Structure 1
Amino acid sequence: MIKNIIFDFGDVFINLDKPATVNRLTEINGKFTVSDKMDQMNKFYEKGLVSTSEFVSFYMSIFPKISKNTLIDAWNAIILDLPENRIEFLEKLSKENNYRLFLLSNTNALHIDHVIKNIGAERFNRFKNCFEQFYLSHEINFRKPDLDIYKFVLNENNLKPEETLFIDDVEENTTAAASLNIITWNLKPGVDEVTTLLEQTFLL
């Protein structure tokens, strides 16, 4: 029986345009390839192991013709809207109190600040207040799909994996969680919709 639900944020609740940053930088600076060093820096930033200023300086050394603001705008281009019906669904789920609710997101300081600016502090707080714990990778120094992040959430909240559902749009992340006997839903953006959660067979 599922007693706990751990939700991802991006492309589960808030809509994302994942290719947007590369597309924007390509438009501005010409075609480029994401290098291993860039990928490593992105992961370090998601884990809070480098500061925003260090992160921005790293990319400005790669794109010296781009201003700091243009670079940050390109980085944040991935963030789209948070539909009201998803917030209302979550508020109803929280009010019914049939499940303990948690958020677990790979994100970073620039993105979360942009989310708050984009959707407004009031709507962001409505969303955040639905969760018992609100875990952002850059604040807890772990990131998915590393197993340590799932163990951290389970241990911190005394959750049994077989009583816990984890919802994420990235298959690599749900596969990792499933290896710890956590029940998973690999939600596919544009096909699945989080507001249909209570209709899914694993909750019936």
Structure 2
Amino acid sequence: MENIKNIIFDYGNVIFEINFKRTQNALLQLGIHNAEQFFAHQSHNSLFDDFEVAGISPDQFRDGIRVATVNPHLSDAQIDEAWNSLLIGVSEGNHQVLLDVKEKYRTFLLSNNNEIHYNWIINYLRKEFNMENYDSHFEKAYFSQHMKLRKPNVNIFEQVIKENNLNPNETLFIDDSPQHIEGAKKTGLHTLLMDVHPEKLRVFLQQHGIL
């Protein structure tokens, strides 16, 4: 893309496949009857927002699920299994795609995440890819629970821009969530809505002149 020097990538359903339906079904099995409203792609219960900015601990999150299910006897393991059912994995070849993009641009990761999912992902990366983190794939990886900020709020984009001395007019943000795209636009970032499966990331970037 013309004039673009920096790219900020979302993680879920851009690089790493996630499946909201699986988690909705798992929450339904735990006893949350309105699971599709309770946890969805574009809106969800405030419990999840609070967890993504480390406003509550993993134990408080689990207690919130117990309250929502009206089942105080759910174990931590049952809750974590349901919650982690969202996570599928990195689509084949996408780590190499990121390295290829990094050769041409300054690249960053910006993910709404939480402690339970983050720990699962780090263990997955170690087991499947012998990776400890994403330090070699991005100039810097940002996760909402470490920043105590989350997308689509403007302040999370402003922090990434400021810390890395980025010119928004030279910076592209790629995300699969329309509401996050709208937040990024408010800071002057260029945006692309990822509307294909993450296994097509390379093709998507090629189609938009990035690779």
Give the shorter-chain TM-score range: 0.7 to 0.9
Q: Is the 8 A contact 2:125 2:132 kept in 1?
A: no
Which of 105, 108, 117 is matched with 2:114 structurally? 108
1:60-75 equivalences in 2 (<5 Å):
60-62=66-68, 63-75=71-83
What does residue 85 of structure 2 align with?
77
Matched residue type, 1:89: V
Deviations 1:85-130 (A, max 9, x none): 0011112332x2x210100000101001111223435444374421
Q: Is the 8 A contact 1:52 1:109 kept in 2?
A: yes
Name the CA shift for 1:61/1:28 in 2 (closer, same or farther; >3 Å).
closer
What does residue 26 of structure 1 align with?
28
- CA separation in 1, counterparts of 2:61 and 2:198? 34
- State the superposition RMSD in angstroms: 2.3
What does residue 147 of structure 1 align with?
154
Which of 175, 181, 186 is matched with 1:168 structurally? 175
Matched residue type, 1:194: L
Matched residue type, 1:64: P
What does residue 48 of structure 2 align with?
42
CA shift for structure 1 position 40:
1.2
CA shift for structure 1 position 54:
1.4
Name the CA shift for 1:138/1:126 in 2 (closer, same or farther; >3 Å).
closer
Matched residue of 1:19: which SS? helix
- CA separation in 2, counterparts of 1:148 and 1:186? 20
Q: Identity over aligned residues, as a percent?
A: 29
2:92 equivalent to 1:90: no
Name the CA shift for 1:87/1:30 in 2 (closer, same or farther; >3 Å).
same
What does residue 15 of structure 1 align with?
17
More deviation in 2-11 or 16-25? 16-25
**TM-score when normalising by structure 2:** 0.85
CA shift for structure 1 position 7:
0.2
Structure 1 unmatched runs, 5+: none
- CA separation in 1, counterparts of 2:88 and 2:198? 18
**TM-score when normalising by structure 1:** 0.88
